[in-house]
Structure 1
Amino acid sequence: MRDTGTMHDRMEMAATGRICIVANLKSGRNSRDAAAVDAAAEVLGAEVLACTRPDQLGATLDKAVARRPDMIVSAGGDGTAVATAAKLLGTGIAMAVLPFGTFNYFARGLGLDPDPAEAARQIAAGRIEPRRLGQVNGQIFLNNASVGVYPRILKEREAIYRRWGRRRLMAHWSVVRSFLRFRRPMRVRLGTGDGTHHRKTALVFVGRSDFQLARFGLAGGEAIKAGGFAVLVVRAESRGELFRRVARLAAGAVEEGVDYDLIQGDRLDLELPGKRRMLLAYDGEKRKMEGPLRFAMTEEELRLVMPRERE
């Protein structure tokens, strides 16, 4: 596992040259608050490139990269941030994040203020830290990736959002509906450096955000800080167990070894015996992927802008 304890010595001042904001105007509250993007752009002296449909984000990022700015700022939710990180990894262009999504775990984990204008001021005074990212079969992720009940929750959430709009209450309702439809656990084979593990579970959660784990009282933060993954295998083989685990999570009473098992490392192979394709969730997005799923850290680094207070 790679030790990131020397990262502080490699930090540099955030770029003061050309800055481009890529704004996803369909991400969370950003669809109703374009004025906040303009306020952040004024603070940073940045150009704004906006997209209004999810299928435009990739092309908008390509346009921003082609202009070769010193920094590209992702203005959106976690899905926008991971798409930006994937484009900028290894390019030498610095990346910053403005929180405009529903949950904003990545931005919050960096210590950014939830107010976009204040976050822009933190970025302007921030520093750049080289960081390796998590990947699974070449797909970059920033916060987490998972198989099992959570990808099904995302499918349910999309349907609810289309009908009722993007609100946190609707996101929570999608969890309840997905749990009610839960039938049977997965049979999972997990390959790590210390051998092979066989489990029956409703969810395998691969974490890369120590902030997100700490937020819910989950173990594994030290593995992430050391440059690896915290793999949580939920101990739930029935619908009733699943509801009990979530109730304990909401109450802040979950325990390692009781509610979930923790596996730590910087590599993981995940297979569902008898299934070639799996539905993978990553940072609020989802996609079908051929198995086995191979998790590793990237060799290339992202130049990530961090608030100075994080020092």
Structure 2
Amino acid sequence: METTTLPKDAILVVNAHSRRGQDNFDQAREKLEAAGVRLIAAHAVKDPEQMAATVRQAIDSGAPMVIVGGGDGSMSSTVDEFVGKDCVFALLPLGTANSFARTLGLPLDLDGAVRAIATGRRRRVDLGMIDRDYFVNAASLGLSPMIGQTVPHKLKRYLGRIGYLVWAAKCSVGFRPFRLTIDDGTQEHRLWSTEVRILNGPYHGGVELSDHAAVDTGEIVVQAVVGRSKPRLAWDWYAKFFKLRDRDAHTLEFHGQAFRIDTHPPQRISIDGEVLARTPVMVKIAPGAIEVAVAAGA
């Protein structure tokens, strides 16, 4: 019989380079142990490139649960290690946008996140895929990868989401629209676009962008901001941020299990905040790929 109870033994791996990782590592360790989570080991990883290897070692050691602390990039870079493994993926949202934590309904404060891990339950969720790379929440192409690739770390660290907005205004000056082709296996859709979001959950950049994307539907959502107008793209983010009635006026959504996406000219792709791919790509859903820790009432 499958259990929904979370393990009490775990290994903690924190990205000490994330916005709040270094400051909160000691607190997280103390609070988890005080809440009844028995930490087999705890690692503060100062080089983000070593996050995946550290998590892999933790899983291979037989830990029943690995707690990953960091931002969405940390979650995305380590989630591949959990696929096909009997290990629960728990997260401490210590980044800027924390979109995956928002998608799972997790508290964004440290005390709340610790409480969810100590008293919550396990839940099986989907993952998105860009070619063979798994991601937890969202990928995008257009202006967002340009921002993610060039935004200064200190601006992101100290201003959070406001820092992204400031840098977005700077990057938009040199940005150009592109021709987009979405092939769902039966039909090709061709249109002009300024941004494309590939969504496994509703949030991207900490903003709820879709009413239909979720981690348990067995489908991926491709959302395109249509047309060639950069002011229209800015309006789309504004309308979705403030949940205006006409917030979907300038977007088209495509729902399915797999799509081929191509652009002219080729576009870089940001995967959970990290620029890791380039069009053309295959995007698809991996249904029920991993088990995650969620709050008891989520």
Please, what TM-score do these two structures have when normalized by structure 1?
0.85
Residue type matched to 1:260 in 2?
Answer: T
Query: Identity percentage over the alignment?
Result: 22
Q: 2:13–2:43: 8 Å Cα contact kept in structure 1?
A: yes
Secondary structure at the counterpart of residue 116 of structure 2:
helix
Q: Deviations over 1:167-224 (max 9, x none)?
A: 3132221111122222x31111100145110011111111111355995363323x76
Look up the match of 1:51. Answer: 45
Look up the match of 1:161. Answer: 153
Residue type matched to 1:180 in 2?
Answer: V
Distance in 1 (CA, whole Å) between partners of 2:206 and 2:69 is 25
Look up the match of 2:292. Answer: 304
Q: 1:22–1:60: 8 Å Cα contact kept in structure 2?
A: yes
Secondary structure at the counterpart of residue 308 of structure 1:
coil
* Residue 67 of structure 1: how far off its partner (Å): 1.5
Pairing 1:106–2:100 present: yes
* Residue 24 of structure 1: how far off its partner (Å): 0.7
Pairing 1:123–2:131 present: no
1:263 to 242, 254, 257: 254
Pairing 1:282–2:271 present: yes
* Residue 245 of structure 1: how far off its partner (Å): 3.0
Distance in 1 (CA, whole Å) between partners of 2:129 and 2:259 is 11
Q: 1:202–1:234: 8 Å Cα contact kept in structure 2?
A: yes
Q: 1:149–1:178: 8 Å Cα contact kept in structure 2?
A: yes
Q: Which runs of 5+ in 1 are unaligned?
A: 1-8
Look up the match of 1:143. Answer: 137
Q: 2:72–2:273: 8 Å Cα contact kept in structure 1?
A: yes
* Residue 137 of structure 1: how far off its partner (Å): 0.4
Distance in 2 (CA, whole Å) between partners of 1:254 and 1:25 is 40
Pairing 1:293–2:281 present: yes
Q: Aligned-residue CA RMSD in angstroms? A: 2.6
* Residue 11 of structure 1: how far off its partner (Å): 5.7
Q: 1:217–1:254: 8 Å Cα contact kept in structure 2?
A: no
Secondary structure at the counterpart of residue 13 of structure 1:
coil
Secondary structure at the counterpart of residue 95 of structure 2:
coil
Pairing 1:245–2:236 present: yes
Greater share of strand residues, 1 or 2? 2
Pairing 1:198–2:190 present: yes
2:73 to 79, 100, 103: 79
Look up the match of 1:178. Answer: 171
Q: 1:219–1:256: 8 Å Cα contact kept in structure 2?
A: no
Distance in 2 (CA, whole Å) between partners of 1:100 and 1:154 is 17
Residue type matched to 1:205 in 2?
Answer: R
* Residue 235 of structure 1: how far off its partner (Å): 2.1
**Cα distance change of structure 1 residues 108 and 299 upon mapping to structure 2, 3 Å threshold:** closer
Q: Deviations over 1:136-180 (max 9, x none)?
A: 1011111111111111111231xx225674431322211111222
Distance in 2 (CA, whole Å) between partners of 1:233 and 1:55 is 31
**Cα distance change of structure 1 residues 87 and 166 upon mapping to structure 2, 3 Å threshold:** farther
2:86 to 86, 89, 92: 92
Q: 1:109–1:212: 8 Å Cα contact kept in structure 2?
A: no
Aligned length: 294
Q: 2:12–2:29: 8 Å Cα contact kept in structure 1?
A: no
Distance in 2 (CA, whole Å) between partners of 1:163 and 1:302 is 33
* Residue 32 of structure 1: how far off its partner (Å): 2.4
Look up the match of 1:4. Answer: none
